[in-house]
Structure 1
Amino acid sequence: MNKPKPKMNSIAFVRLTEEQKQNLENQAKSAGMTLSELIRNRALNQPVPSHTDAMNGKKIDQLGRMLRHLYPKGKSWASAEDRKLYWKTIVELQRTSKMLRGEK
């Protein structure tokens, strides 16, 4: 079950040049985040996924689902070791996808 998000009710002011602010706004836009989210994630050493990472994560998810769907039901298609390796690959795809999307 997901934890409820804590209320964001504290404000910190940061002085930036117009160029710095524009740079951060561009980074936030390319990451699909608000400026506040970007600054907060950077300040707290949290990941800032890009749209490219999120898109790649979705594609990897699709590959994992396709592989899982194609996983043969019978045990005669491969040895136990090969089946473990196949399933380990699917789990690794899921882990990589989550990492690219900035999930835990």
Structure 2
Amino acid sequence: MSNHAELSTFICDSFSDHVQIEPGVLYGDDLSLAAIIKLSPKMHNSVDLMEAFARTANALRRARGIRVRLPTLHLDTPISRVLELFLSEAAAAAAPKRTA
């Protein structure tokens, strides 16, 4: 089972690769989703952003066997909040399932 720091690094690196923004800029400046779209050489609109999130989620599923789903997010949401959501979803997915 992956620990919190490993998952955080994996998610950060994967998303950074998909948007083609260095992690230090992306997370160090805690960019908003709108700023990510503006700075990324690959992105033109929020659909591109959603695709980057989906690719990151798919990478997490393939590499770690963890399925995550993100809620709808406003473009003023900081990337740190998105990372929190990814990690929260990953923790919930990894938790033992209760049976009735």
Decide: shared fold, TM above 0.5: no
Taking CA–CA contacts closer than 8 Å with sequence separation of 6 or more, which of the two structures ends up with the larger relative contact order? 2
What TM-score results when the alignment is normalised by the length of structure 1? 0.30
What TM-score results when the alignment is normalised by the length of structure 2? 0.31
Larger Rg: 1
